[in-house]
Amino acid sequence: MSYRIEGIDFLILSIIAVFAGAFINRVIPLLKRNNIPDAVTGGLLFSLVITLVSSHWGLTVEFDMRLRDILLLVFFTTVGLTAKFRLLLAGGKALAILLAISMMFLFLQNATGVLVATSFGGNPAYGLFIGSISLAGGHGTAIAWGAEAAKAGLEHAEALGITFATFGLIMGGIIGGPIAGRLIKVNGLKPEGELDTIKTVAEVKEQYHPTKLEDILKTVLIIAICIQVGDLVNRFLFSTGMLLPGFLTAMLMAICITNGAELVKFKISERAVSVANNLSLQIFLVMSLISMQFAALSEGVLSAVIVMCIQVTLITLFTMWVVFRVMGRNYDAAVMASGFAGLGLGATPVAIGNMNAITSRFGPSPKAFLVVPLVGAFFIDIANALILKFFLALPMMEGGF
């Protein structure tokens, strides 16, 4: 017997799951300390409950995924709308260097994943899901590429991606602080002064100004245009034999629009974009987790732990021997190293959490808080997409996905 959960019912269930996840994270300090998203906690819990109930009663539960697919496009569009070239220039040389280092690491992370997947006798394409798709990319990227992989016949790719994205969040929050702490103590580092912030008075006022209905409607319109134009571009590219994921073309259109808007002095509300980003990510993520097959996620836990140890070792060595040294071997570089560990295994909030822990103990590092969030907010997603397309184009990937 089968039971289908339709759109509005699925939405209600998903929002309840987010609140449940928030409650669990509050009462279990370990989850909160490691920045586990409320949607992940609630989504995994509800997925487990649905799996147990359906197994006990012999039910096959199906979900209406149309809203989730739209939210996927909205999320990546909002990522593109924050990718302003002026911020790249404001970060200066340090931002360019860290971005270059990040691209080098993404390549190594994927190469490691492909080698491990091959050694386990699996499809090399699975290596990308134990690489930057899940770790540097996070849950949203894992689910997005998982949908593309499923179309190509890679079974359980989405569940594999979610597994490693979750492990990555935990490990990224665990190793960042110890790495930076050791670098600071061994090298006798101290804060080296202040760095002027790039925020203007107008931008500070905007941060605390109430969001107007006009700004919200304008943002919704821009997001819809980006998605629609991205779809048209994707159809054109498909007709020429080139296929890109829909979320990627929507993000690229958003990048073009937000930077074009800056040239003509057309203001896009950053707060409205931020709200749309958080809302779409939370609901999209919890919908994906609730609807997945929990049994597929729980399979191969031992293998996942082994692979995770390999990836953690890689980023630890890379952070200490490359990031710290190339960024200047000073206090700011040590703080950036803690943030980089969070970015490479988890997400921007994990990186910021790591840096907060270090600076609250050893002293401020404005430079690190300028550069690392800029790389993590959008540049690393763009770089990740480019490197993933490179790997998928390799002959060993059997045509990719």
If phi over 0 gives left and psi between -120 and 50 gives alpha, with beta otherwise, what is residue 138? left
Residues 360, 100: Cα–Cα separation, whole Å? 28
**DSSP letters along 302-324, please?**
HHHHHHHHHHHHHHHHHIIIIIH
For the chain, give the percent of residues with pLDDT over 90: 30
Write the pLDDT tens digit of every residue in 230-240. Answer: 999 888 887 87
pLDDT at 374 exceeding the cut of 80: no
Write the pLDDT tens digit of every residue in 310-353. Answer: 999 999 999 999 999 999 999 999 999 999 998 999 777 678 77
Q: Torsions phi, psi of 4, nearest 5? A: -110, 130
How does residue 218 score in pLDDT terms, banded at 50, 70 and 90?
very high
**Contact, 367 vs 332, CB < 8 A?**
yes
What is the CB neighbour count within 10 angstroms for residue 139?
27
pLDDT at 399 exceeding the cut of 80: no
Which pLDDT belongs to residue 135?
Answer: 92
Residues 151, 88: Cα–Cα separation, whole Å? 35
Kindly state the average pLDDT of the residues 173-182.
86
If phi over 0 gives left and psi between -120 and 50 gives alpha, with beta otherwise, what is residue 3? beta
Helix runs in 188-269, H state only: 201-208, 213-239, 246-263
Q: Between 238 and 283, where is the model more confident?
A: 283
**Contact, 35 vs 346, CB < 8 A?**
yes
Report the SS3 class of residue 2: strand
Identify the bridge partners of residue 124 per DSSP, sorted by sequence position.
Answer: none
Kindly state the average pLDDT of the residues 108-129.
91
Average pLDDT for the chain: 83
**Cα–Cα separations (whole angstroms), residue 317 to 93, 176, 178:** 23, 12, 13
Identify the bridge partners of residue 4 per DSSP, sorted by sequence position.
Answer: 62
**Contact, 102 vs 84, CB < 8 A?**
no
Q: Which two tokens stand for residue 374?
A: 């800029």
Which pLDDT belongs to residue 143?
Answer: 82
How does residue 205 score in pLDDT terms, banded at 50, 70 and 90?
low
Q: Between 237 and 97, where is the model more confident?
A: 97
Kindly state the average pLDDT of the residues 303-314.
89
**Contact, 267 vs 202, CB < 8 A?**
no
pLDDT at 301 exceeding the cut of 70: no
Helix runs in 82-190, H state only: 85-119, 126-129, 138-151, 157-187
Which pLDDT belongs to residue 377?
Answer: 67
**Contact, 133 vs 143, CB < 8 A?**
no
How deeply is 378 buried, as exposed, middle or buried, from its count of CB atoms within 10 A (0-12, 13-18, 19+)?
buried
Kindly state the average pLDDT of the residues 289-295.
71
Which pLDDT belongs to residue 14?
Answer: 94
Q: Between 122 and 349, where is the model more confident?
A: 122
- Does the pTM exceed 0.75? no
